[in-house]
Structure 1
Amino acid sequence: MATSTPSTPASPRLLVLISGNGSNLQALISATTSTPPTLPAHIIHVISNKKAAFGLTRAANANIPTTYHNLVPYKKQHADIASARQAYDAELVRLILEQKPDMVVCAGWMHIFSEAALQPLVEAGVGIINLHPALPGQFDGADAIERAYKAFQRGEIGGTGIMIHWVICEVDRGEPIVVREVEMVAGEELAELEERIHRVEHVEIVNGTRMALKRLMREREAAGRT
């Protein structure tokens, strides 16, 4: 008599948002495709708001579908920036939910999520996390590494770091998942600090995504949504 084989749970589905070089995307790709995978998940789609982002090439090389979604056409179609942002965010959410991801990873994504964009993801049970190259509560927003570097030169801080955090409406203020400190070195050039921080990011983006997925799946199981 034939016996049934228990089905293997499908790997969590990741959608990655990028704006640039995509080195953190590459870290995620490598982690999900290694043998065995150090990040047991599947990257299903990559969205970039920059057409020339090299991360799109990285995704294509890994046979990951991509979408280019830029704000400029929406500015041309609407009389004010608020209306343009609203329309842009609505389409971004549609593009994301169309792919049915379990989690969205912002890996160098230079666009702030509005509440209108976040709420549909929350309602759909989609987790969203972000990599930010600064410690919690320090240097929120853009150019965090350069701002930390200048603050060190002025003697205001002795170190910086990176964090992976849950995304909320307040920029870079969501609950941290991973926090790693990075020591600053007297006489070091900004480019050298950036390189050292990027090396830490490439490790922790994988660790943070893994931890966030475990939490998301536990919460879904507890809520009976698996």
Structure 2
Amino acid sequence: MVADHSPRLAVLASGRGSNLQAIIDAVADGRLDARVAGVFGDRPKAFALERARDAGIEARALRPRDFADRDGFDAALFNEVASVQPDFIVCAGYMRLLGAAALEPWAGRIINIHPSLLPDFKGLDTHARAIAAGVAEHGASVHFVTPDLDGGPVIAQARVPVLPGDDADTLAARVLETEHPLMLAVLQLLCAGRITLCDTVVELDGQPLPAPLQLASKRLPA
């Protein structure tokens, strides 16, 4: 048997797992040279865990209420994550803020996808807030994770227009269409060793990025 040397991914998810499914599908059809080694979360009934198990992937969830504090929960969760020996961790709809102690060993190896053009609209309810602010563009960002809420260095973004008559649901659907290709494009670069984090600077092929890569304008490199 030939050893599989593809990068190993651990995915953190709290919800329905649509980005997780996009990753699973891309691995299965050869578009992403990686292996999903495990899926972990904070909600035992999250559909993302069911998606993982259906694909034959180990899936585990811990309940925050079973721990005395956030640091205790994070430590236990990341012990589970470490057990599958991932090269990278992907937060795909994981809804809890991660503490500095848990993140420190994974600096530069954990990314998140967020439904806004960061640094705008960090946190929740991004689509409604974008409409209320009257912005012309909205979108999604993939960034390295730090202890600051949605505050880590941004790797890449995808932009969509905010159209007359949009509500939070219609805008969310338009953004979601960009999230999957954006996440996969970044993962392809990350798994190939082309995207790295040097201190707080994102580098592509060893050179600092002057601005986040833009999926919509075809600036993500092949």
Question: Counterpart of 1:117?
Answer: 102
* Superposed displacement of residue 58, structure 1: 0.9
1:56 is paired with a residue whose SS is helix
**More helix by percentage:** 1
1:206 is paired with a residue whose SS is helix
* Superposed displacement of residue 85, structure 1: 0.8
* Superposed displacement of residue 69, structure 1: 1.5
* Superposed displacement of residue 212, structure 1: 2.0
**AA in 2 matched with 1:71:** P
Question: Counterpart of 1:180?
Answer: 158
Distance 1:56 1:19, change over 3 A: same
Question: Counterpart of 2:216?
Answer: none
Distance 1:111 1:216, change over 3 A: farther
1:210 and 2:188 matched: yes
Identity of aligned residues (%): 33
Which ranges of structure 2 fall in alignment gaps of 5 or more residues? Answer: 198-205, 207-222
Runs of 4+ aligned residues of structure 1 deviating over 4 Å after TM superposition are 216-219
C-alpha distance in structure 1 between counterparts of 2:3 and 2:153, whole Å:
32
**What is the RMSD of the two structures over their aligned residues, measured on CA atoms?**
2.0
Taking structure 2 as the reference length, the TM-score comes to 0.83
* Superposed displacement of residue 216, structure 1: 6.7
C-alpha distance in structure 1 between counterparts of 2:3 and 2:59, whole Å:
27
Rg larger in 1 or in 2? 1
1:45 and 2:38 matched: yes
Question: Counterpart of 2:19?
Answer: 24
Deviations 1:62-108 (A, max 9, x none): 1111001221111xxx3xxxxx1111111112111111100000000
**More strand by percentage:** 2
* Superposed displacement of residue 218, structure 1: 7.5
**AA in 1 matched with 2:83:** E
Which ranges of structure 1 fall in alignment gaps of 5 or more residues? Answer: 1-6, 79-83
Q: 2:75–2:102: 8 Å Cα contact kept in structure 1?
A: yes
Taking structure 1 as the reference length, the TM-score comes to 0.81
How many positions carry a matched residue from both structures? Answer: 197
C-alpha distance in structure 2 between counterparts of 1:171 and 1:218, whole Å:
20
